[in-house]
């Protein structure tokens, strides 16, 4: 009897270990940065956010479905804003939500890509002109900042392709949320802790105001 229960315990232990979430972390160098996952950079004290990224996603493409990890209020940007929040920014972004993805376009309600969205929003809200390419925006228009310093209106950059270069950009809001032009879903709100974006995160940047 004891022998049979011992085997059962071993089987249960093996099954439990196979069901634990696995978060892949890869590190490649690019300029002066180290390409490390968002949740790893965000938590320097040794803590992780694996409890927020338990759903495994295909790292070759953004996950499908309705705004993973994002509440209905965030998905529609129908949220209560604080006095310090830039209401003009939220108003402008809300108009862009649902705009289909279209490479090299930047027309509200018609089509846009990620850098086109950033270019238009920054021109309208901040009266700042930025480059028409996500990598060039980081290189020529931004200074890199620490994740703990991220604030509303800053930019977040990702390496999503096979080449070791920035290929995607979004506008940070707050509470880990950012707006971007997804190739599969158009302009949406997503969560930085989502497995796909966490593992492809590259850097955070703040626009440099040129004199």
Say which of 39, 106, 180, 200 is annotated catalytic: 180
Query: Could you tell me how many residues make up the chain?
Result: 211
DSSP code for 169:
E
Which residue in 39, 106, 114, 200 is the catalytic one? 114
Residue 4, token pair as written in the block: 């049979």
33: annotated active-site residue: no
Using CA atoms, how far residue 120 sits from 29, 44, 105, 111, 140, in Å, is: 30, 34, 11, 12, 17
Strand partners, 106: 112
Q: Is 106 a catalytic residue?
A: no
Q: Which residue has the tokens 């004290």?
A: 45
- R_g over Cα of the chain: 20
Integer Cα distance of 124 and 171 in angstroms:
14
Do β-strands 168-172 and 177-182 pair in parallel, antiparallel, or remain unpaired? Answer: antiparallel
b/e map of 68-94 (b: 16 or more CB within 10 Å)?
bbbeeebbebebeeeeeebeebbebbe
CA-based max dimension of the chain: 81
Q: What residues act catalytically?
A: 114, 168, 180
């Amino acid at each position: 009897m004891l022998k049979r229960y011992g085997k059962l315990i071993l089987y249960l232990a093996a099954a439990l270990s196979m069901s634990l979430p696995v978060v892949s972390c890869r590190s490649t160098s690019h300029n002066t940065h180290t390409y490390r996952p968002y949740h790893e950079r965000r938590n320097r004290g040794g803590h992780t956010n694996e409890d927020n990224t338990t759903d495994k996603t295909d790292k070759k493409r953004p996950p499908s479905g309705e705004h993973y990890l994002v509440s209905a209020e965030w998905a529609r940007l129908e949220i209560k804003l604080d006095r310090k929040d830039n209401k003009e920014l939220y108003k402008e972004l809300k108009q862009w939500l649902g705009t289909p993805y279209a490479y090299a376009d930047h027309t509200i309600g018609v089509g846009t890509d990620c850098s086109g969205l950033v270019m238009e929003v920054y021109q309208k809200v901040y009266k700042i002109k930025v480059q028409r390419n996500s990598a060039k925006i980081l290189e020529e228009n931004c200074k890199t900042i620490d994740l703990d310093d991220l604030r509303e209106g800053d930019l977040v950059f990702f390496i999503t392709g096979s080449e070791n270069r920035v290929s995607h950009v979004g506008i940070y809001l707050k509470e880990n949320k950012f707006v971007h032009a997804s190739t599969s879903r158009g302009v949406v709100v997503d969560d930085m802790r989502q497995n796909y974006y966490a593992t492809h995160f590259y850097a955070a940047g703040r626009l440099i105001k040129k004199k």
